[in-house]
């Protein structure tokens, strides 16, 4: 008998085992049994032949409809052409010099056909495919009828590899299942009963060889639960452990910089900001590190929440760092914080010894430093010295800060802004920067669907800002057909109108220049041969300046510009010295120019839903209403067009985040660490398994509360260990 960890060679023989290892990376019985079918075919069921893509390696179930042999025109030999169909569509199979196969491939026979899809004269075909015929009902058993014996009514179709046909995998699976000693079930009986989950052994059998769709659904549910549960156990355990780490307490003081700052704040904090402020203040005062996620719509005022937390830490003698995803945003944050703090901050280098040191709270001010990758060497040295000496109480920087030799005197708080993929491993890297684990606040404006929050940020506590500060203006969004001249004229006229009354505009392009490799690092526009190249800032800006926007002051901003120039452009725009800023998505996050009222997004269909929502959050930040024009040549009714219409129809970030999730691969959403875990998340879908994930979460909390280290549940502990191990391995590889 075999167990899940038995090497495949013991069960299948060395040759087959080696082939499975080579083609599919499977080494043990467990690997094979957790290699799930992609789908199931049913005889008579319509396989969707119309969905076949040229170049795909496919396995289809179809019936022979026509057979024809003809001599080749250009060379010697003959060609056997077999037309197979599923009732609606047909597919041509071609076999070179194999006329004898006519005897097998008789009209009316059903079979599985596997090969790579090619196209010839507009017709989809498989050249020389592998095939397995099913027996005719009522006919005496033939050599290949065994296929049904082990396949049953629902024929599993495995992710195919050219040299490893689906039915070979199916046959190996059957052998493995037959020799498998039923594995012990890591899920406690009571938990299974509560959630109506079938046993592990049954689930592993039925996911491969279901006797009915119901059996298959039950198997899937159980195995999906396992995935969600293992993940949640890991995260909840992490959270529980972290809650016990020691941290320096940073209690609030009534006579420090924070109090002075609050007293002079130019506006009233919203109730939400006050509530978040309380949560954070309490966390910081505890002897354990805060791990908190602050979610809030674009413009909900997260920055001031972060600043108040940072000041609380400064007041207690520690340092705080604010990390931004781009240099533009870091520079802007630095400026913004300096403006908010006024003379409560000193932004220059620390004075020489003996003079009043920067950040001495006795002086009622804190040092505020900017550290980015592009700082000139001398300035960088000075900033690093201030950070090491502790005179820079607040440090603003890009993530590069993490990876360069920065030493803090007493790092008490790390704030991470606008980085919704800031996963577990980056948080680990940060922790190493302090002698004691620092408090961590992660901020995001991208609303996160609950399931993603539970998975990606499952080890964080969550605070939300749901209201926007009063006086915020509405944003109207419209989709503009880019190939209709009249509409485009009207678009540029709107920009001119806004500028005429003293406002400013953004024009966003997917690319920097025409060169197809010319992309800003943080952009996602996929290469697509069939469409014209996406519009680039470098071409669009001069065209506008000489054409429809002639006479306006037009500037350019891309990730390619040297940091000081980027900064200069942003400053000029913020100061109103430019009317129109043509930019890539570098302005996606955080850029805050309240006087900007129009945004035109060119080739809008090249952007994701969340990205568009983020972008439009750049307008309507002042007292005048915002206008966002999504220009696209996408055909009406095309999915791209529908996506844009959806963005135009709502400003509900959570609704849009869900829409976005529907359209992206989950690996993208989960980010590095979690995509490493993908090998353990085969079935789980963040979108369709939301309920199951929530159930798994609740169970995980219950189990970990009672038994943090899982000593009572050795099998569960093992599952978790595997997951964490893999996570580690991934992380180390990258580091």
Least distance (Å) between residue 293 CB and ligand ADP: 13
8 Å CB contact between 55 and 117: yes
Q: Which element (helix H / strand E) includes 94?
A: strand 90-96
Partner in contact with 273, chosen from ligand ADP, Mg ion, none, beta carbon below 5 to 8 Å by kind? ligand ADP
Evaluate whether 416 touches 441 at the Cβ level (below 8 Å).
Answer: yes
DSSP state at residue 320: E
Q: Which does 592 bind (CB under 5 to 8 A by kind): ligand ADP, Mg ion, none?
A: ligand ADP
* Distance (Å, whole) CA 684 – CA 537: 40
Dig out the tokens for 171 from the structure. 């046959």
E strands, 351-456, are 366-371, 394-398, 411-417, 439-444
Question: Over the Cα atoms of the chain, what is R_g?
Answer: 31
Site string for ligand ADP, 563-602 (x = CB under 6 A): ---------------------------x-x----------
- Residue 130 within binding range of ligand ADP, rule CB under 6 A: no
Q: Is 359 in the site for ligand ADP (CB under 6 A)?
A: no
Round to whole Å and give the CA distance between 388 and 378. 15
Q: How far is the CB of 263 from ligand ADP (least distance, A)?
A: 15
Q: Which of residues 163-222 bind ligand ADP (CB under 6 A)?
A: none
Select from 56, 62, 71 the least CA-distant residue to 92: 62
Q: Which does 281 bind (CB under 5 to 8 A by kind): ligand ADP, Mg ion, none?
A: none
Nearer to ligand ADP, 621 or 680 (CB): 621
Whose Cβ is closer to Mg ion: residue 590's or residue 626's?
A: 590
CA–CA separation, 88 vs 357, rounded Å?
81
Give least dist CB 395 to Mg ion, A: 17
Q: Which is nearer to ligand ADP, 301 or 534 (CB)?
A: 301
Looking at beta carbons only, is 297 or 315 nearer to Mg ion? 297
Q: Which residues ranging from 300 to 319 are in contact with ligand ADP (CB under 6 A)?
A: 300-304
Angle between helices 639-649 and 609-616 (to 10 degrees): 40
- Are 394 and 319 in contact, with CB atoms under 8 Å apart? yes
Binding mask 427-446 for ligand ADP (x = CB under 6 A): ------------------x-
- Taking the complex as a whole, how short is the minimal distance between the CB of residue 301 and ligand ADP, in angstroms? 3
Q: Which stretch binds ligand ADP (CB under 6 A): 119-127, 265-273, 575-583, 709-717?
A: 265-273
Q: Residue 34's closest CA among 192, 188, 171, 200?
A: 200
Least Å from the CB of residue 336 to Mg ion: 9
Nearest of 534, 292, 497, 296 to residue 413 by alpha carbon: 292
**Position among 30, 115, 165, 299 found at the interface with ligand ADP (CB under 6 A):** 299
Q: Report how far residue 311's alpha carbon sits from residue 303's, in angstroms, rounded to the nearest whole number.
A: 12
Specify the residue for token string 């299974």: 192
For residue 469, the partner it binds in ligand ADP, Mg ion, none, with Cβ less than 5 to 8 A by kind, is: ligand ADP
Could you say which of 590, 622, 671, 676 contacts Mg ion (CB under 5 A)? 590
CA distance 296 to 198: 40
Residue 671's binding partner among Mg ion, ligand ADP, none (Cβ under 5 to 8 angstroms by kind) is none
Verify binding: residue 296, ligand ADP, rule CB under 6 A.
Answer: yes
Task: Pick the closer one to Mg ion by CB: 590 or 608.
Answer: 590
Instruction: Decide if residue 270 touches ligand ADP (CB under 6 A).
Output: yes
**Cβ at position 460, least distance to ligand ADP in Å:** 18
Closer of 222 and 333 to ligand ADP (Cβ): 333
Nearest-CA neighbor of 615 among 686, 495, 523, 735?
Answer: 523
Q: Which is nearer to ligand ADP, 69 or 269 (CB)?
A: 269
Q: Could you give the CA distance from residue 246 to residue 644 in angstroms, rounded to a whole number? A: 48
Compare residues 58 and 307 and give the one whose CB is closer to Mg ion.
Answer: 307
Burial 486-513 (b: 16+ CB within 10 A, else e): eebeebbebbbebbeeebbbbbbbbbbb
- Binding to ligand ADP in span 464-483, by CB under 6 A: 469
* Smallest distance from ligand ADP to CB 273, Å: 6
Asked if residue 24 binds ligand ADP (CB under 6 A), the reply is: no
Q: Are 99 and 121 in contact (CB under 8 A)?
A: no
Query: What is the rounded distance in angstroms from the CA atom of residue 213 to the CA atom of residue 222?
Result: 14
The residue number whose beta carbon is nearest to ligand ADP equals 301
Closest separation in Å from C-beta 703 to Mg ion? 37
Record the tokens describing residue 118, joined without a space: 């090619």
Q: Which residues bind Mg ion (CB under 5 A)?
A: 590
Q: Which residues bind ligand ADP (CB under 6 A)?
A: 267-270, 273, 296, 298-304, 445, 469, 590, 592, 621
């Amino acid at each position: 008998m075999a167990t899940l960890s038995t090497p495949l060679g013991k069960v299948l023989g060395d040759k087959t085992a080696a082939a499975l290892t080579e083609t599919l990376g499977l080494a043990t019985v467990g690997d094979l049994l957790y290699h799930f079918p992609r789908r199931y075919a049913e005889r008579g069921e319509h396989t969707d032949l119309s969905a076949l893509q040229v170049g795909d390696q496919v396995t289809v179930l179809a019936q022979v409809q026509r057979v024809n042999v003809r001599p080749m025109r250009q060379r010697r030999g003959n060609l056997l052409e077999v037309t197979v169909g599923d009732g609606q569509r047909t597919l041509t199979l071609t076999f070179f010099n194999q006329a004898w196969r006519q005897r097998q491939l008789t009209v009316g026979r059903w079979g599985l056909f596997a090969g790579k899809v090619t196209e010839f004269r507009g017709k989809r075909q498989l050249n020389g495919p592998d095939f397995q015929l099913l027996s005719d009902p009522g006919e005496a058993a033939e050599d290949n009828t065994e296929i049904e014996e082990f396949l049953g009514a629902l024929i599993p179709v495995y992710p195919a590899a050219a040299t490893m046909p689906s039915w070979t995998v199916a046959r190996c699976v059957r052998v493995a299942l037959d020799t498998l000693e039923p594995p012990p079930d890591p899920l406690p009986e009571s938990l299974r009963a509560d959630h109506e989950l079938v046993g592990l052994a049954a689930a592993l059998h039925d996911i491969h060889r279901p006797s009915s769709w119901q059996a298959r659904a039950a198997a899937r549910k159980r195995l999906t639960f396992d995935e969600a549960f293992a993940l949640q156990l890991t995260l909840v355990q992490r959270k529980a452990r972290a809650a016990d780490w020691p941290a320096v307490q940073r209690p609030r003081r009534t006579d420090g910089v924070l109090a002075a700052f609050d007293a002079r704040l130019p506006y009233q904090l919203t109730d939400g900001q006050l509530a978040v402020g309380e949560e954070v203040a309490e966390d910081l005062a505890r002897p354990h590190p805060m791990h908190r996620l602050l979610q809030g719509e674009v413009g909900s005022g997260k920055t001031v929440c972060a600043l108040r937390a940072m000041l609380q830490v400064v007041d207690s003698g520690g340092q705080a760092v604010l990390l931004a995803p781009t240099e533009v945003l870091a520079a802007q944050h630095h400026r913004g914080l300096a403006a908010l703090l006024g003379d409560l901050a000193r932004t220059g280098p620390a004075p020489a010894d003996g003079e009043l040191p920067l950040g001495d709270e006795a002086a009622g001010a804190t040092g505020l430093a900017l550290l980015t990758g592009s700082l000139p060497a001398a300035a960088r040295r000075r900033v690093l010295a201030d950070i090491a000496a502790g005179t820079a109480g607040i440090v603003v920087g890009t993530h590069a800060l993490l990876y360069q030799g920065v030493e803090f005197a007493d790092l008490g708080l790390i704030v991470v802004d606008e980085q919704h993929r800031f996963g577990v491993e980056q948080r680990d890297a940060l922790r190493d920067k302090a002698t004691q684990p620092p408090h961590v606040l992660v901020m995001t404006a991208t609303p996160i669907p609950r399931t993603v929050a539970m998975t990606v940020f499952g080890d964080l506590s969550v605070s939300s800002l749901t209201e926007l500060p009063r006086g915020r203006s509405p944003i109207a969004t419209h989709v503009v057909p880019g190939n209709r001249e009249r509409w485009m004229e009207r678009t540029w006229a709107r920009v001119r109108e806004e500028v005429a009354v003293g406002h400013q505009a953004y024009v966003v392009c997917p690319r920097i220049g025409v060169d197809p490799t010319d992309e800003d690092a943080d952009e996602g526009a996929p290469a697509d041969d069939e469409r014209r190249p996406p519009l680039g800032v470098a071409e669009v800006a001069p065209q506008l300046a000489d054409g429809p926007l002639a006479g306006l002051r037009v500037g350019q901003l891309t990730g390619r510009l040297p940091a000081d120039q980027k900064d200069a452009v942003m400053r000029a725009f913020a100061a109103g010295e430019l009317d129109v800023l043509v930019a890539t998505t570098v302005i996606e996050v955080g850029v805050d120019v309240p006087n900007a009222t129009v945004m035109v997004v060119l080739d809008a269909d090249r952007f994701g839903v969340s990205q568009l929502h983020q972008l439009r959050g750049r307008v309507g930040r002042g007292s005048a209403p915002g206008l966002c024009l999504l220009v696209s040549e996408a055909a009406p009714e095309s999915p791209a067009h529908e996506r844009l219409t959806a963005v135009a129809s709502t400003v509900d970030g959570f609704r849009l985040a869900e829409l976005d999730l529907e359209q992206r691969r989950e690996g993208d959403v989960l980010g590095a660490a979690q995509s490493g875990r993908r090998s353990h998340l085969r079935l789980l879908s963040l979108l369709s398994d939301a309920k199951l994930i929530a159930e798994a979460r609740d169970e995980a909390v219950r189990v970990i509360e009672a038994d943090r280290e899982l000593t009572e549940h050795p099998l569960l502990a093992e599952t978790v260990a595997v997951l964490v191990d893999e996570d580690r391995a991934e992380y180390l590889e990258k580091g």
